[in-house]
A = this chain, B = another copy of it.
Amino acid sequence: MTVLTCAVALKLVEAILAEGRARGFAPLTAAVLDAGGHVVALARDDGSSLLRPQIATGKAWGVLGMGFGGRELAQRAAKMPAFFTAAIELADGKLVPVPGGVLIRDSQGHIVGAIGVTGDTSDNDEICAVAALAAIGGPLGLKPDTGV
């Protein structure tokens, strides 16, 4: 039985946006997807720009599509540009290979979903995803996989 319910996903996106506000980051957008790559919860904070929902979703979908966290995807994209040009096209753009895309793993290491955050720098986006997952998902046995 998955622990990544809609209630948990909503708490995650709220915690991500709150983390960004507390740190004085630019307004964030956060998406939580299930293991099949489908959105469970999404929130775009006041002032977060128009394409952010698609970017957040694309960061999360990309890590699920390839099976690696966003940090690993970024390294691979730098080494294999032609492969990623094709993969991004195959994914209809829903593969944004930068930090801020984070796999959610359960206590056994199985992928149960993914988080995508965008709005500030990729590193700061990731900080908020990891912090929110620790706070909300930690007690449920969920762990982030950023691709490091």
Determine if A39 and B44 form an interchain contact, defined as CB atoms under 8 angstroms apart.
Answer: yes
When all copies of this chain in the complex are counted, the total is 4
For A26, the closest partner residue in chain B by CB is B67
**What is the CA–CA distance of A9 and B9 in the complex, to the nearest angstrom?**
15
> Which residues from chain B contact A122 at a C-beta distance below 8 Å?
83
**Range of interface residues on chain A?**
35 or more
Determine if A95 and B86 form an interchain contact, defined as CB atoms under 8 angstroms apart.
Answer: yes
Among candidates B17, B44, B86, residue contacting A58 with C-beta atoms closer than 8 Å: B86
Determine if A87 and B95 form an interchain contact, defined as CB atoms under 8 angstroms apart.
Answer: no
Q: Name 11 extra pairs, CB < 8 A, besides A62-B86, A80-B98.
A: A6-B48, A9-B43, A36-B50, A39-B42, A41-B42, A49-B66, A51-B65, A77-B82, A82-B88, A86-B95, A86-B97
